[in-house]
């Protein structure tokens, strides 16, 4: 793996849904071990950005390279893991923690997806890392918001992806989960994983994002958090509203 | 009916119909069809494809008629029109501002109407009533062979791709992310739906086949939080409904397809009321609070 090169390279990507532009001319480059915050209003294109990086929507323009390879190769290499928002999950689905985490291994299993000993170990290990061992066989519907979030984080760990995309990882979680996720992020960083998180929570961005990407249909500002995450930039990202109004004076 | 029913010897209730060859055949074939539809039902319930099931099962009608007229296996015609209808739904939805449920309703009724018109125009030995309402008691040998073949095919496909389909229903984005071909799974499920609609119409007919595809899964969904169990309960409730439905149809001289679907509906209502966790009486809560 070429660590000196970029893990994620998105060059001038455009996405439109049936003629409606959702994202245009967006560029992002991230290296190994970098944590980047993705900030924007609802409808600013955060989810579209994630959809593009997971290959869930087609680009109308631009190119995405993951570890220097095409998106298709990255998918086959299990390079990208996506951790969905809690709202994006059907919590009535008849499935338990173990089965969800095992889905992280599907891409590298045989066609019947029958787990090998190594898969079982990876799943156990991942569930242990997010501290859910006592809930291993709990149906998803009986988990709290934080436990649910940790389940999907465990799936990403089991997948052994080098890039993690997290959609609102801190929304609707308890303090314990929040602390655990923060600790995991620092571990991931040490392991050389690249992390992109979308969040509404400005405090978390300052806490552990090296870089921040402000978007409003396109890139408003991008760079080191200390330089880019200014009240002026945030205001223009959120369509002219002042950050004080949006997040209270302490932001 | 109670006096008649109670005085009836249970033994003869079960065994007497089995002395007839057509009843043995009907019960065996209906059980097979029920098992296939029940298995598929567990996926459709989770994917939220009830309306799609309704659409496809009606849209296969012209395919069945044309296939009969041309003398090719009716499953082939059904398959082409089933998948074709969904492709058309997708196309119209994308190219117009009409909402999806409207497009679905519009396309399948159009196909269905075409089928009815074709039956009346193509003079053949097709009995419209048999296609519309099923005729498990009068099923022909070639239909039996085809039904068995399709059933095995559908069960095989759903078994091989069981876990992928579960993932596709649960979290298609993750499937895509780890390099699983989501488009293939979409059309696989669609293919199985078209084929199941074809075998289903043998027993309950086109009008009611959608019940075979959604009711057993919905019933099972109220009874368990495990996917494997959901499929199993769905298959069992489907088979029980078919067998019981045929018996009731025999003893009370009522329409077979309607009888089967009514039994399914009653089983669903029973689960709806009395399911331990998800029924409206929530017996588990009552028991644990004592």
CB-facing half-sphere around the CA of A40: CA atoms within 13 A:
25
Please list every residue in chain A whose beta carbon sits closer than 8 Å to the beta carbon of residue B46: 90, 93-94
Shortest Cα distance, chain B CAs vs residue A249, angstroms: 38
- A155-184: per-residue pLDDT in tens? 999 999 999 999 999 988 899 999 999 999
- Both structure tokens of B9: 């010897």
> CB count, 10 Å around CB of B280?
9
Rounded CA-CA distance B94/B102 in Å is 13
Rounded CA-CA distance B58/B61 in Å is 6
Task: Report which of residues A199 and B98 the model is more confident about.
Answer: B98
Contact B227 A94 (CB under 8 A): yes
- B75-134: per-residue pLDDT in tens? 888 889 998 998 999 899 888 889 999 999 999 999 999 999 998 888 666 777 888 888
| Residue from A90, A94, A95 whose CB has the most chain B CBs within 10 Å, to mutate | A94
Please list every residue in chain A whose beta carbon sits closer than 8 Å to the beta carbon of residue B41: none
- A100-147: per-residue pLDDT in tens? 999 999 999 999 999 999 999 999 999 999 999 999 999 999 999 999
For residue A98, give the chain B residue with the closest CA. Answer: B226
Say which of A75, A94, A142 has its CB closest to residue B178: A75
From A57, A104, A75, A74, select the one nearest A6 (Cα to Cα). A74
pTM of the model: 0.90
Count of all residues that appear for chain A in the document: 251
Q: What's chain A's average pLDDT? A: 90
Q: Do B283 and B274 meet the contact criterion of CB atoms below 8 Å apart?
A: yes
Shortest Cα distance, chain A CAs vs residue B147, angstroms: 26
Rounded CA-CA distance B32/B185 in Å is 24
Helix, strand, coil content of chain A in percent (nearest 5) = 40, 25, 35
pLDDT at A249 over 60: no
pLDDT value at position A200?
76
pLDDT value at position B111?
96
Contact A155 B174 (CB under 8 A): yes
Contact A96 B177 (CB under 8 A): no
Confidence tier at B235 by pLDDT (50, 70, 90): very high
A115 CB within 8 Å of a chain B CB: no
A67 CB within 8 Å of a chain B CB: no
Q: Do B167 and A109 meet the contact criterion of CB atoms below 8 Å apart?
A: no
pLDDT at A208 over 50: yes
Q: Do A162 and A5 meet the contact criterion of CB atoms below 8 Å apart?
A: no
CB-facing half-sphere around the CA of B250: CA atoms within 13 A:
22
pLDDT value at position B91?
92
Q: What's chain B's average pLDDT? A: 89
pLDDT value at position A2?
45
| Residue from B90, B93, B178, B227 whose CB has the most chain A CBs within 10 Å, to mutate | B178
Q: Do B45 and B189 meet the contact criterion of CB atoms below 8 Å apart?
A: no
Task: Report which of residues B68 and B211 the model is more confident about.
Answer: B211
Say which of B173, B178, B227 has its CB closest to residue A107: B178
Shortest Cα distance, chain B CAs vs residue A73, angstroms: 8
For residue B182, give the chain A residue with the closest CA. Answer: A56
Please list every residue in chain A whose beta carbon sits closer than 8 Å to the beta carbon of residue B164: 106, 113
Interface of A with B in 154-213 (CB under 8 A): 155, 159
Rounded CA-CA distance A55/A74 in Å is 10
Contact B225 A94 (CB under 8 A): yes
- Both structure tokens of A26: 């967006």
From B238, B278, B235, B228, select the one nearest B261 (Cα to Cα). B238
Say which of A80, A94, A100 has its CB closest to residue B177: A80
pLDDT value at position B124?
64
Please list every residue in chain A whose beta carbon sits closer than 8 Å to the beta carbon of residue B175: 106
Three-state DSSP at B39 gives helix
Which residues have CB under 8 Å from B71's CB, separation 6+?
none
Contact B163 A141 (CB under 8 A): no
pLDDT at B269 over 80: yes
Residue by residue, what is the 3-state secondary structure of A31-91?
Answer: CCCCEEEEECCCCCCHHHHHHHHHCCCCCCEEEEEECCECHHHHHHCCCEEEECCHHHCCC
Shortest Cα distance, chain B CAs vs residue A213, angstroms: 22
Residue pairs spanning A and B at CB distance below 8 A: 75
Let me know the angle formed at the C-alpha of A188 by A183 and A192, rounded to the nearest 5 degrees.
150
Residue with tokens 């053949």: B124
Contact B167 A106 (CB under 8 A): yes
pLDDT value at position B285?
61
For residue B225, give the chain A residue with the closest CA. Answer: A94
Rounded CA-CA distance A246/B197 in Å is 54
Say which of A18, A94, A111 has its CB closest to residue B224: A94
DSSP state, residue B125: S
Please list every residue in chain A whose beta carbon sits closer than 8 Å to the beta carbon of residue B224: 94
Please list every residue in chain B whose beta carbon sits closer than 8 Å to the beta carbon of residue A84: 171, 173-174
CA distances from A205 to A176, A185, A210, A233, B210 (A): 18, 12, 8, 14, 50
Please list every residue in chain B whose beta carbon sits closer than 8 Å to the beta carbon of residue A76: 179
Rounded CA-CA distance B159/B121 in Å is 40
- B133-172: per-residue pLDDT in tens? 888 888 888 889 989 999 999 999 999 999 999 999 999 9
Which residues have CB under 8 Å from A103's CB, separation 6+?
A155, B167, B170, B171, B174
Task: Report which of residues B76 and A26 the model is more confident about.
Answer: A26
Is the ipTM beyond the 0.85 threshold?
yes
pLDDT at B283 over 80: no
Which residues have CB under 8 Å from A195's CB, separation 6+?
A34, A35, A36, A163, A164, A166, A185, A188, A189
**Residue A99 host element (H or E):** helix A97-102
Say which of B169, B176, B230 has its CB closest to residue A54: B176
DSSP state, residue A139: B
- Both structure tokens of B290: 């004592």
A141 CB within 8 Å of a chain B CB: yes
Helices (H), B134-205: 141-160, 162-170, 172-177, 182-203
User: For the purposes of burial, counting CB atoms within 10 Å of the CB of A172, is it exposed (0-12), middle (13-18) or buried (19 or more)?
Assistant: middle
pLDDT value at position A240?
67
Which range among A1-15, A17-31, B177-191 shows the weakest confidence by mean pLDDT? A1-15
Contact B171 A56 (CB under 8 A): no
pLDDT at B232 over 70: yes
- A62-77: per-residue pLDDT in tens? 999 999 999 999 999 9
From A76, A77, A137, select the one nearest A102 (Cα to Cα). A137
């Amino acid at each position: 793996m070429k660590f000196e090169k970029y893990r994620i390279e998105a060059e001038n990507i455009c996405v439109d849904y049936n003629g409606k532009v959702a994202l245009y001319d967006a560029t992002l480059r991230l290296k190994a071990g970098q944590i980047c915050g993705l900030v924007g209003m609802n409808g600013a294109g955060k989810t579209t950005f994630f959809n593009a990086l997971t290959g869930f929507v087609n680009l109308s323009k631009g190119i995405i390279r993951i570890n220097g390879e095409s998106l298709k190769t990255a998918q086959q290499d299990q390079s990208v893991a996506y951790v969905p928002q809690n709202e994006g999950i059907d919590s009535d689905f008849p499935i338990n923690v173990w089965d969800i985490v095992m889905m992280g291994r599907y891409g590298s299993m045989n066609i019947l997806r029958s787990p090998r000993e190594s898969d079982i170990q990876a799943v156990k290990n991942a569930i242990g890392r997010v501290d859910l061992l006592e809930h291993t066989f709990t149906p998803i519907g009986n988990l709290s918001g934080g436990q649910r979030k940790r389940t999907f984080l465990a799936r990403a760990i089991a997948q052994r992806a080098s890039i993690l995309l997290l959609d609102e990882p801190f929304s609707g979680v308890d303090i314990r989960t929040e602390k655990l996720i923060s600790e995991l992020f620092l571990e991931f960083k040490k392991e050389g994983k690249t992390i992109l998180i979308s969040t509404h929570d400005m405090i978390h961005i300052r806490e552990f994002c090296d870089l921040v990407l402000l978007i409003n249909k396109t890139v408003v500002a991008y760079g080191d958090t200390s330089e880019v995450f200014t009240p002026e930039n945030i205001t223009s990202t959120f369509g002219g509203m002042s950050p004080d109004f949006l997040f209270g004076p302490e932001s | 009916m109670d006096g008649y029913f109670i005085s009836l010897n249970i033994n003869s209730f079960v065994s007497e119909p089995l002395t007839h060859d057509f009843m043995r055949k009907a019960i065996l074939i209906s059980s097979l069809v029920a098992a296939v539809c029940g298995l598929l039902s567990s996926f459709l319930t989770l994917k939220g494809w009830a309306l799609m099931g309704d659409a496809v099962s009606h849209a296969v009608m012209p395919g069945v008629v044309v296939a009969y007229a041309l003398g090719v296996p009716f499953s082939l015609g059904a398959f082409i029109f089933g998948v074709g209808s969904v492709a058309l739904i997708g196309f119209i939805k994308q190219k117009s501002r009409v909402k999806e449920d409207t497009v679905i309703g519009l396309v399948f009724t159009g196909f269905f109407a075409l089928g009815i018109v074709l039956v009346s125009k193509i003079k053949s030995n097709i009995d419209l009533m048999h296609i519309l309402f099923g005729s498990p008691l009068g099923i022909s040998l070639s239909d039996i062979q085809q039904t068995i073949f399709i059933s095995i095919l559908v069960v095989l496909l759903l078994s091989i791709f069981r876990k992928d389909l579960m993932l596709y229903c649960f979290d298609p984005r993750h499937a895509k992310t780890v390099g699983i071909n989501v488009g293939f799974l979409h059309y696989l499920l669609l293919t199985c739906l078209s084929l199941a609609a074809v075998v289903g119409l043998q027993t309950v007919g086109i009008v009611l086949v959608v019940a075979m595809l959604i009711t057993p899964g919905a019933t099972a969904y109220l009874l368990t939080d495990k996917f494997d169990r959901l499929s199993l309960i769905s298959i069992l409730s489907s088979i029980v409904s078919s067998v019981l439905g045929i018996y009731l149809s025999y003893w009370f001289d009522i329409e077979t397809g309607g009888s089967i679907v009514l039994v399914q509906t009653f089983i669903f209502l029973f689960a709806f009321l009395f399911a331990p966790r998800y029924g409206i009486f929530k017996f588990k809560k009552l028991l644990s609070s004592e």
